[in-house]
Chains A and B, each alone.
Chain A
Amino acid sequence: MSGRDSLGEFEHIIVLALLRLQDRAYGVTVRQEIESRTGREVSIGAVYATLERLETKGYVKSHRGDPTPERGGRSKRFFRVTAMGVAAVNRTQRALQSMTEGLDLIPRYS
């Protein structure tokens, strides 16, 4: 991994959701956080597929919680952002800011 990769749009949203949720970040809370803040319906598969890619890149780490009866004896998988992930978010944010700087977006395109 080059460590210079920018995040894709959905990857960016997922990492921001993980940063917001901190130690409460698992599939359900991540999905609901994105839905409530962006207003778009997200499938749990999209969340896991993106988290798997981010974990492969080293931007996210995961660990298992304890199995619970209300989940049919299945455990939760908690996610957290690594230092590399934070750096990638900052790079992406800076790139977006740089690209939108000076543009009068609201009156012209909304």
Chain B
Amino acid sequence: MTSLASFVRPPRIAVWLVDLFAASREAESLLGDMLEEFSHLASKSGVAFARKWYWRQTRNTITHLAGNAFRVAPGLIAATVIGGLLLHRLVSGLPERAIFAVLHRYQVFDHHFSTYVFFATDGIAIGHVIASMLVGCVVALAAEDREMVATMTIGFVLCAITGAAVWAWVATGQTFFLGALPWYFADWFAIVVGGAMVRTHRSAATILSSHGGFH
């Protein structure tokens, strides 16, 4: 190992992505193996080559780990995805009801109309995103070690449903507000973010407990 290799680190985002998809008991050794080969390649063939190799390994590794999750734990993935979709359906109306309850309680419509408009439009959309993120967290907590696969599957299902709905709107010539489009797809993204938050927290806790904070 050269002194150069000891200072070079693999791309942080790539390391984080692999850590998200690896089962917690194999993440440590898997990332250690990738770092070992990366350091060796960096000293032998240069940092740019090693980084390119690391990204290629990351892409292929994530694909295999995600595919393997469906083969090893299909029941867990199916249960968490169905449960997550039901939970999402259950909570998706809550932000709207809660925001309007508060707006009516404090008579915001009469006294602060612009505030009312903000909460009745963007406020509800933000509430939906927060509720979706919480659903993602709950699903990730239930799908231990398969957090990203479970939340991403829910995300893909919701994305497909939303895409079909938007297509149906456009096809039937109904009024469609293009500016709202990002909000329509924000729910699935928020669910995946929730999954990533739980997984990142779990990984940090695992590293701390196994090494007493050593990095």
* A residues adjacent to B (C-beta < 8 A): 26-28, 31, 43-46, 48-49, 52-53, 56, 64, 67-68, 70-77
Contacts and interface: CB of A to CB of B under 8 A. Distances in A.
Contact of B36 (A46, A71, A77): A71
Interface stretch (B60-68, B92-100, B119-127, B194-202): B60-68
A29 to B, nearest CB: 9
B29 A64 contact: yes
A42 to B, nearest CB: 9
Contacts of B142: none
Contacts of B211: 67, 73
Interface of B: 1, 6, 18, 22-23, 26, 28-37, 39, 56-57, 60-65, 67-68, 71-72, 211, 214-215
B64 A53 contact: no
B68 A53 contact: yes
Nearest to A45: B61
A44 B57 CA distance: 7
A41 to B, nearest CB: 8
Contact of B29 (A26, A45, A46, A53): A26
A56 B31 CA distance: 21
Contact of A43 (B6, B32, B57): B57
3 closest Cβ pairs, A-B complex: A45-B61, A74-B32, A43-B60
Given A49-B67, A53-B72, A74 B57 contact: no
Contacts of A46: 60-61, 64
Given A26-B29, A45-B62, A74-B29, A52 B36 contact: no
Nearest to B29: A77
Given A52-B26, A56-B72, A75-B32, 17 more contacts: A31-B33, A43-B56, A43-B57, A43-B61, A44-B57, A46-B61, A48-B30, A49-B64, A52-B68, A52-B72, A53-B68, A70-B35, A70-B36, A71-B33, A73-B211, A74-B28, A74-B31
